[in-house]
Amino acid sequence: MSSSAIAATAPLPQEAKVVSGFDRKPPSAGSAAVVEILPTAQAASAQPRPARRPHWLGFAAAAAWGLLAALTLLWPNKPAGFEDWAYTAEFGTAAAAIAVTWALLALSTSARFSLLARANAVFSRGAPWIVVSALILALWEILTAKTGALPPPFFAPPSSLIDAYANDYARLADSTYNSLKLLLEGVLWGAAVGFTVGISIGWSRAISYWVHPLLRFLGPLPPTALLPIAFFFFPSSHAASVFLIALATGFPVAILTWSGVAGVNKAYYDVARTMGASEWFLIFRVAIPAALPQVFVGLFMGFGSSFVVLIVAEMMGVKSGLGWYLTWAQGYASYVNMYAALIVMTVIFSSLISLLFAVRDRVLVWQKGIVKW
């Protein structure tokens, strides 16, 4: 059966290859630490003997965050020709609070409380990252606010990001909401139309004859190149952007859905037909489920290009959204706000991709050796 299982799932390794190129893994230092730490952390909850490694890393994390707090609070900011950077004290206090929390967690490794033990297990996994992120923040703070090696206003210290979020959260939230709305509208249209087109050209020779050449000819054109024309043709810049985002998403979804349908093992159709399956059954119960792994690769690629089109469209013509916020912040030379918006964007886009992968893992539980995001 093993050979036939491989044949049956032939498109999968291909998909795995495509996705793994984009696979983001924590650096090996992190995973190596997990391997070493986890057994001891589990041993700590099982046996009275306290574990040693979590202690060490926990105190290292506490020390790193303590260092960040100390240098933020005690090292005066370099005067930058305007009012002092806001929220320096608050940033330092927050870092100090985090340092105390880590210290307490590290002290409690031998605790019997299950909640603490669980917090510790999570902490052990991410401990190296927690140490390093404190050090990165400290370096960033030194290079900007403390020494001015990276000059204002183009560079801003991490503490000033709090300023941007605290004072401009309304505009940022509004921009985020508008971006998400526009993106989802375009992506849903693109995915739906791309999927339908992919299934149709995979199934029907006649449709394939007419649509496939168009897809081959027009598909590779970057949708951003159509921006000026689209803004002219469509009644609103919103409609134009939805169209272009849908185009960006739809092309890869259509191509990969088609290749998924074309790659379905023909024997599956024979099996279903001998059991009395109708054409409808062959499409919806055989072709589509068999093509789904490929469809998800298409969606992943489509998401990526939809983000590009979204930001460019908002920078060029749409009067709201995160892309618009970037150009707006640039106009006021308010680079702190720009960094703040970039961080929001990163969080949203990576969450959307994570969500897509979570859905895929759910839908494709039957796959062996699924690629982790």
Partner 1 sequence: MVAAAVEKPRPEPIEPSTAAPGASRIRVEGVSHGFDAPSGRLEVLENVDLDVAPGEFVALLGPSGCGKSTLLRLVAGLEPAAAGTITQDGNPITRPDPSRIVVFQDPTLFPWRTVWDNVALGLQAQGILKQEKTRVDAALCKVGLEGFARSYPHQLSGGMAQRVALARALVNNPRLLILDEPLGKLDSLTRLEMQSELVSLWQKNGFSVLLVTHDVEEALFLAQRVVIFSPRPAKIVTEVRIERPYPRHRDDPCSPACGTKC
Say how far apart CA 324 and CA 322 lie, in whole Å.
Answer: 5
Binding flag, residue 1, partner 1 (CB under 8 A): yes
Say how far apart CA 209 and CA 192 lie, in whole Å.
Answer: 21
* Contact characters 179-198, partner 1, x per CB under 8 A: --------------------
* Contact characters 252-291, partner 1, x per CB under 8 A: -------------x-xx-xxxxxxxxx--x---xx--xx-
* Subset of 121-180 contacting partner 1 (CB under 8 A): none
Say how far apart CA 243 and CA 264 lie, in whole Å.
Answer: 31
Say how far apart CA 189 and CA 238 lie, in whole Å.
Answer: 14
Binding flag, residue 96, partner 1 (CB under 8 A): no
Say how far apart CA 33 and CA 10 lie, in whole Å.
Answer: 35
Give the rounded distance of the alpha carbon of 241 from its chain centre: 22
Interface segment toward partner 1; rule CB under 8 A; list 29-37, 82-90, 331-339, 365-373: 365-373
CB 75 to partner 1: min, Å? 59
Q: Which is nearer to partner 1, 212 or 273 (CB)?
A: 273
CB 281 to partner 1: min, Å? 5
CB 367 to partner 1: min, Å? 8
CB 255 to partner 1: min, Å? 22
Rounded (5°) CA angle 363-251-351: 50
Candidate list 24, 205, 362, 368; residue touching partner 1; CB under 8 A: 368
Q: Which is nearer to partner 1, 177 or 366 (CB)?
A: 366
28's tokens: 């090996």
User: Closest by alpha carbon to 124, among 78, 169, 67, 60?
Assistant: 60
CB 268 to partner 1: min, Å? 6
Count of H helices and E strands in the chain? 15, 0
User: Closest by alpha carbon to 244, among 316, 334, 151?
Assistant: 316
DSSP conformational letter for 78 = P
Q: Which is nearer to partner 1, 66 or 293 (CB)?
A: 293
Q: Which is nearer to partner 1, 167 or 265 (CB)?
A: 265
Residues 298/252, Cβ–Cβ less than 8 Å: yes
* Subset of 37-76 contacting partner 1 (CB under 8 A): none
Residue type, position 123, single letter: F
What does the binding site for partner 1 look like in residue numbers (CB under 8 A)?
1-5, 7-9, 265, 267-268, 270-278, 281, 285-286, 289-290, 292, 364-368
